[in-house]
Amino acid sequence: MRKRSPIDQMQWWKLVSDHQYIRGILFFCLGIFIYLLMLDNVLPETVDIRLSQIAEQDIRSPITIENKVATEEKRSEAVNAIGPVYEQKQEYAQTQVEKVNDIFELIKSVGQMKLGNTDEGDAENGEVKLEEELAYIKEVLSSGTSNDLSEETIVTLLEASEGQLKIAKEATTNAVHEVMNQTITIRNLNDVKDRVEEQFAISTVSNRLSDAMVEIAQFAIIPNYIYDANSTERLRQEASETVDPIMIREGQLIAKAGDMVNHDIYEQLRLVGLLDDSFNIFPYIGLAMLVLLITCMLAYFVNESKTSVQKNNSHLLMFTLIFIVTVVIMKISSLLEGLDLLGVGFVVPVSMGAMLLALLIHTRLAIFTSIILAVIGSIFYSNDTIGFFNFSYGVYILFSSVAGAFFLSRSNRISRILRAGLFVCAINSLSVLALLLIKSVQSSWIEIGMHVGFAILSGFIAVVVTIGLLPFLEAGFGILSTTKLIELSNPNHPLLRKILTEAPGTYHHSVVVGNLSEAACETIGENGLLARVGAYYHDLGKTRRPHFFIENQMKMDNPHDRISPQLSKTIIIAHPYDGADLLREYKMPREIIDIAEQHHGTTLLKFFYHKASQDSDKTVPESQFRYPGPKAKSKVAAIVGIADSVEAAVRSMQKPTPDKIENLVRKIIADKLEDGQFDESDLTLRELDQIAVSICETLKGTFHQRIEYPEEVKGKEEKS
């Protein structure tokens, strides 16, 4: 079996490492790691305690939950406190008075019928017998009324004269009305009836008629203060609704240390889950959902961040490692909270992760990661707080991380990192003081000093760890940091010395291109130092055949005049790829190699193309005189290409003026844009305009109009 060659192994490893599945595996592993670290922070705690046992420590509720049993008991008490509701029916007085009137009206009508018969006919034949009248009255009256009134009372009324009957009627109705306006219940009904005789003070009627009147009044008096079921139910419902649910609040003290656990305390412990020994799957599911959200947000932002981690899996691995290391440090620091040291948790050097990401990848990614770390940290530090989130530490971690990332957004030199540490110390101190004041904690100066001291120590530790890890990460993952770029820009670098000694004109040209590129990149917010260093090496391939390039042809004939355009084309087109190969041989960073390989894109060698067209009778295809590419994949590579073309064109101008330079620069950019050389670099038209302005400003200082000194003028006159 044939062994793989080192080249085959490198290609195989590159194919595997750049595969999209690797990104998914990295994020999956990151999610599993975060899940395992946070698991013990979200699982509900339990206490081993029994009824009638003494609590060894304060026991507080980890959640907010309704005590439904206590709530129902409270509502039952409120309902039972509402007694039956009674209502005095005022309309009963009128009803009973009308009933008394009906009785007397019936007696009166029967008496009139008797008188009429006596007047019109024979008294003996027309006289209605008393028994018949009595039977008639009982038939007309309701059964209840006829049964309650005695026959003697009815007969007495029938035998009474019309005047006496009138007096009896008025007296009885007045008595009934007067009594029925009082409060009459079932309990005092008999007493009221017994006292009704007091309402009759009439001496003009016989005792027999008076007794009949009392009996009719007693019959008409009924209870008027009765039970109101609807009102009673309504008041009880309102009383039940006014009772607020009995809540066991998060952080509420259920049992003090030294208290005996009675039945009520034991039920509260069971209700909040502190006695629940059964398996509860919901915390696991909730944490899985939270970790899934965190991982998905990280994956989405990383894939849309327009940084090196977007497509470079090795950089993504570096990001994952930095994230994991930072999370582990937060976890370890959270365990320090168990020590008897005030504010020791604030010593967490979480800004280290943000500073490393800002230095090695991009500030935007560092700031976004700071937000995620703040969420995770607030869970890690929830052990000594109530609930699953400690927002104080979350805010502290957020400000600390963002401070480190923001301060390094424009410069990442070692001195800048040290200043960033001081800035983080200041932000940490202010954050801790703000949190203490917001909580209205009455702390002594010693306690405040300890909190602030640990916060300051956090900044120093973060700087030390950042500076210590930076070289290893740069070397291990091929990161082109500022330190590395400064090292590559040293003129003593072997490749730069090679350019200087073998192609001095190219070296000078590269220096000017570096100046133009750096200023243009900084104008649109790109890495100007990378552009400068990339420009230094972009024409390294010209050292293979330096005399075939015009900037190196000092006091010598142009060799292209003696060879065919096709051969000239081959020599010229080869220089980007010769330079890229030489850079790979010296293991230069990928970004520098890309600039050297892509700075000409697929542009046309117009001079040799037109020369070949003039020398040939046939049409010469443009594709034969175009660079094979690739086109610039980054803005920096595109800008270096623009600066390269501009510098060569301006250097060949006769008596350059600012207007001529600007017209030439804009024409070169327009030609490249029309030729599609910026299609893969994401440069916008606005950025191209800013680049043109920047290059023109730089060229004005490079190609300024010189003052002719007297010696020079005299020399010219002598030559003439």
Name which of 457, 456, 452, 422 is nearest 436 in CA terms: 452
Location of structure tokens 């192609």: 503
Task: Give the Cβ contact number of residue 625 at 10 Å.
Answer: 24
Helix (H) or strand (E) holding 88: strand 86-88
121 pLDDT more than 50? no
Measured in degrees and rounded to the nearest 5, phi and psi for residue 248 equal -95, 105
138 pLDDT more than 90? no
How much is the mean pLDDT over the chain?
81
Q: Are 598 and 619 in contact (CB under 8 A)?
A: no
Report the distance separating Cα 297 and Cα 369, nearest Å: 10
Report the distance separating Cα 588 and Cα 467, nearest Å: 23
The per-residue pLDDT for 538 is 93
Average pLDDT over residues 602-616: 84
Report the distance separating Cα 475 and Cα 706, nearest Å: 47
**DSSP per-residue string spanning 475-521:** HHHT---HHHHHHHT-TTSHHHHHHHHH-HHHHHHHHHHHHHHHHHH
pLDDT, one tens digit per residue, over 35-55 is 998 888 776 666 667 777 777
- What is the Cα gyration radius of the chain? 53
Greater pLDDT, 184 or 277: 184
Average pLDDT over residues 360-378: 89
Q: How many residues does the chain have?
A: 720
Greater pLDDT, 272 or 419: 419
The per-residue pLDDT for 297 is 92
Hey, is 255 helix, strand or coil? strand
Average pLDDT over residues 525-552: 89
Name which of 441, 337, 334, 450 is nearest 397 in CA terms: 334
Q: Which of 355-359, 436-440, 531-535 has the weakest average pLDDT?
A: 436-440
**DSSP per-residue string spanning 22-76:** HHHHHHHHHHHHHHHHHHHHHSPP-----TTPBPSS-EE-SS-EE-HHHHHHHHH
Hey, is 149 helix, strand or coil? coil
The per-residue pLDDT for 63 is 67
Winning range, highest mean pLDDT, from 86-100, 377-391, 629-643, 646-660? 629-643
The per-residue pLDDT for 704 is 53
Average pLDDT over residues 421-436: 88
139 pLDDT more than 90? no
Which amino acid is it at 74?
A: K
Q: Which of 143-147, 153-157, 355-359 has the weakest average pLDDT?
A: 143-147
Which amino acid is it at 139?
A: E
Which pair of tokens denotes residue 464?
């030390």
Q: What percent of the chain has pLDDT over 70?
A: 85
Cα 126 to the center of its chain, rounded Å: 105
pLDDT, one tens digit per residue, over 297-321 is 998 988 887 777 877 788 888 999 9
Report the distance separating Cα 342 and Cα 89, nearest Å: 73
Report the distance separating Cα 319 and Cα 303, nearest Å: 13
The per-residue pLDDT for 206 is 79
The region, left, alpha or beta by phi > 0 then psi within -120 to 50, assigned to residue 183 is: beta
Greater pLDDT, 264 or 470: 470
536 pLDDT more than 90? yes
Report the distance separating Cα 323 and Cα 319, nearest Å: 6
- 708 pLDDT band, cuts 50/70/90, is very low
107 pLDDT more than 60? yes
Q: Which of 82-86, 117-121, 373-377, 478-482 has the weakest average pLDDT?
A: 117-121
Greater pLDDT, 637 or 105: 637
Helix axes 351-360, 414-438, angle to 10 degrees: 140
Average pLDDT over residues 346-369: 88
The per-residue pLDDT for 127 is 46
The per-residue pLDDT for 286 is 87
- 387 pLDDT band, cuts 50/70/90, is low
114 pLDDT more than 60? no
Report the distance separating Cα 508 and Cα 517, nearest Å: 14
Hey, is 19 helix, strand or coil? coil
The per-residue pLDDT for 685 is 93
706 pLDDT more than 60? no
The per-residue pLDDT for 498 is 92
Q: In the chain, where does the domain assigned CATH 1.10.3210.10 lie?
A: 484-715
The per-residue pLDDT for 293 is 94
The fold for domain 484-715 equals Hypothetical protein af1432 (1.10.3210)
Eight-class DSSP state of 4: P
Q: Are 700 and 658 in contact (CB under 8 A)?
A: yes
Hey, is 243 helix, strand or coil? coil
- 495 pLDDT band, cuts 50/70/90, is very high
- 443 pLDDT band, cuts 50/70/90, is low
Average pLDDT over residues 332-346: 78
Name which of 593, 560, 606, 576 is nearest 506 in CA terms: 576
Measured in degrees and rounded to the nearest 5, phi and psi for residue 384 equal -100, 15
Which pair of tokens denotes residue 532?
């400068």
Average pLDDT over residues 667-685: 92
Helix (H) or strand (E) holding 253: strand 253-255
